[in-house]
Amino acid sequence: MIRENIKTAQENIERACQNASRDPGEVTLIAVSKTKPVSMLMEAYQYGCREFGENKVQELVEKYQIMPKDIHWHMIGHLQRNKVKYIVDKVALIHSVDSLRLAEEISKEAVKKGLTVSVLIEVNIAGETSKFGTAAEETTELVRQAALLPGIRIKGLMTIAPFVENSEKNRQYFEILRQLAVDITKKNIDNVNMNVLSMGMTGDYMVAVEEGATMVRIGTGIFGERQYLL
């Protein structure tokens, strides 16, 4: 099942790229494996998947220790400052930097460990009160300030679009995020590039790819529905 799902997702990404005259090689599929057992991650791994996304520090660390070492781990969930130290040396990319205080903590831990940590700035593009992320209007200022910190490198922007039945409704938000990245690029801020646009999930990744996503984060569409224990 997981193999078929990955194959389908890859085909959908290719189709969306064709629609937008883009090269599918520009789009990275991240398998969002939160709440799922290592056996399922291994199935995706054996099929060739090397990019995994997790949203909880402890779960990421546990899976990191068990899974093969050639995996790129993506921290996609809200990150508390006191947990930064556990993951800076394990993740390929932190997608969820939404405050200067968090950026400062990542910088501090990176310097301590002699690392340069790649990060994205998370933007709350639809202004939903339930979501983390910096406001669109404040993004450029956050990028400017975070870019001055040692040990971190800003690679782009991330957003979680609203949950909608019709993915077309999110096209506007993906377009705004891409435009924001273009505007920031034009400012030529040292230590910043905007090559990565992490946007699109199971319900809307094709629209996101048509609007310029370079990373899509697919959970349910690969591993099936998640069961949360209450």
Ligand X SMILES: *Cc1c(COP(=O)(O)O)cnc(C)c1O
Residues that bind ligand X (CB under 6 A): 32, 34, 55, 76-77, 160, 201-203, 217-221
Could you give the CA distance from residue 204 to residue 174 in angstroms, rounded to a whole number? 10
Residue nearest to ligand X (CB): 219
Q: How far is the CB of 41 from ligand X (least distance, A)?
A: 14
Nearer residue to ligand X within complex by CB, 77 or 212: 77
Nearest residue to 93 via CA among 151, 185, 155: 155
3-state helix, strand, coil in the chain (%, to 5): 45, 20, 35
Nearer residue to ligand X within complex by CB, 15 or 78: 78
Nearest residue to 8 via CA among 218, 198, 229: 218
Nearer residue to ligand X within complex by CB, 131 or 144: 131
Q: How far is the CB of 12 from ligand X (least distance, A)?
A: 13
Nearer residue to ligand X within complex by CB, 34 or 155: 34
Q: How far is the CB of 220 from ligand X (least distance, A)?
A: 3
For residue 48, give every residue at least 6 positions away whose Cβ sits within 8 Å of its Cβ, in sequence order, or none: 6
- 3-class secondary structure, 84: helix
Q: How far is the CB of 60 from ligand X (least distance, A)?
A: 12
- 3-class secondary structure, 37: coil
